[in-house]
């Protein structure tokens, strides 16, 4: 599974509608409205790198009101669960 974090700039007056539309796109697992330089963050999870092209420039960028996107591809996940497992290694007697 490939996880991408997509930072999205939108028409500010249409953030809720744009977020709802992006959330319906296959491969998009979550959409957050955020403060800062970007208006939305979408989490995209796909099976193959080629699928990213279908989802991000192929669908997200074409949603009316999306001005630009910036994509970050995750290399590793450091979830709380993973960290607890890593620190627990070798601690049992």
If one counts the domains in the chain, the total is: 1
- Full-model pTM: 0.82
Q: Is 40:23 a contact under the CB 8 Å cutoff?
A: no
Residue 2 CB-half CA count within 13 A: 16
Between residues 66 and 90, which one has the greater pLDDT? Answer: 66
pLDDT in tens, 48-58: 999 999 999 99
Give the torsion through C-alpha atoms of 82, 85, 87, 89, to 10 deg: -140
Instruction: Please give the average per-residue pLDDT across 14-38, as a whole number.
Output: 97
Tell me, yes or no, whether 7 lies in a domain: yes
**Domain boundaries, position 50:** 2-88
For position 84, which CATH number holds?
3.30.70.920
Instruction: Please give the average per-residue pLDDT across 69-73, as a whole number.
Output: 97
Tell me, yes or no, whether 93 lies in a domain: no
**Band of residue 80 on the pLDDT scale cut at 50, 70, 90:** low
């Amino acid at each position: 599974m490939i996880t991408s974090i997509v930072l999205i700039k939108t028409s500010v007056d249409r953030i809720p509608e744009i977020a709802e539309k992006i959330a319906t796109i296959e491969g998009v697992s979550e959409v957050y409205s955020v403060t800062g330089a970007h208006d939305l963050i979408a989490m995209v999870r796909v099976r193959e790198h080629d699928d990213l092209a279908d989802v991000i420039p192929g669908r997200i960028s074409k949603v009316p009101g999306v001005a630009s996107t910036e994509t970050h591809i995750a290399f590793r996940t450091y979830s709380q669960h993973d960290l607890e497992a890593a620190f627990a290694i070798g601690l049992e007697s």
